[in-house]
Amino acid sequence: MQPFDTFTVQTVFFADVKAAFWAGVRDFLRKPLLSAAFGLLFALFGLVFAAGLLIFDQIWMIVPAGVGFPLVAPFLAAGLYEMSRRFAEGQSFSWSDIFGVVFKQQRREFGWMAFVMLFVFWVWIYQVRLLLALFLQWQSFSALDSFFMVVTTTSNGLLFLGVGTIVGAFLATVLFSITVVSMPLLLDHEIDFVSAMILSVKAVIANPVVMLGWGVIIALLTFLALLPAFVGVIFVLPVLGHATWHLYKRVIGRIPAEQA
């Protein structure tokens, strides 16, 4: 494992976010089929999850699940990070090379990060269940439009929506802060997941407006991508994955060995 103190957090600006985003677009266009394949995996996962909620009559969970979807997406983006890494180093690669790297992550610190991310996701889902019980008394919803009607036109529904938004925003901020840098860092270097999370939080604290602004951009673009039956996810999430890699490279630097 590489020592924690060999890494340094750099100051970044919105110009860096813009440059990282367009670098992500370029990476997508360099191998669009492979990038879109990861986007398709995201979309299929979302569709299967939503279908399961409908089958088991848990329509009310579609909204919180959709909101939570971007929270677990970074773990699935390992292949996109690896593609961008190899593009930057001028390496050629095949589909099997990239998927091989993804499968190997289960034996590295990525596995622990997956546990952390899924834990926060389930905390989000269960707090929604708790708020549903407190404010809506476990009302049964036969369709998604009836759920929206209740939460937007009744006092208890508005309380449910308001408190849920505040709690959800807090959890999303926490998870974004511990993963925005740590996930690509774990792929790029041999470092333990706790140190990677600390560096990620330090990056957000050092650049709060820029980094949280990037989080808002991710959330908005992902939400828009989910609307047309997850079709937009096929293109949007790969671009965001590539862009996250490029932003990470701008945020995290290395201290020269002779100065360490």
- The reported pTM is 0.83
Q: 118 in a domain, yes or no? A: yes
Identify which has the larger pLDDT, 41 or 19. 19
Q: 166 in a domain, yes or no? A: yes
Q: 193 in a domain, yes or no? A: yes
Two structure tokens written together for 260 = 């360490």
Three-state SS sequence of 36-88? HHHHHHHHHHHHHHHHHHHHCCCHHHHHHHHHHHHHHHHHHCHHHHHHHHHHH
Q: 259 in a domain, yes or no? A: no
Q: 260 in a domain, yes or no? A: no
Q: What's the domain count of the chain? A: 1
pLDDT in tens, 24-82: 999 999 999 999 999 888 887 777 666 655 655 555 555 555 555 555 555 668 899 99
Q: 240 in a domain, yes or no? A: yes
Structural domain boundaries, residue 220: 4-254
Crossing angle of helices 62-76/32-55, nearest 10°? 150
CA pair distance 7, 251, nearest whole angstrom: 10
CA pair distance 142, 248, nearest whole angstrom: 44
pLDDT in tens, 199-237: 999 999 999 999 999 999 988 898 888 777 778 889 998
Give the number of other CB atoms < 10 A from CB of residue 260.
Answer: 10
Q: 37 in a domain, yes or no? A: yes
Cα angle: 226, vertex 246, 175; to 5 degrees? 55
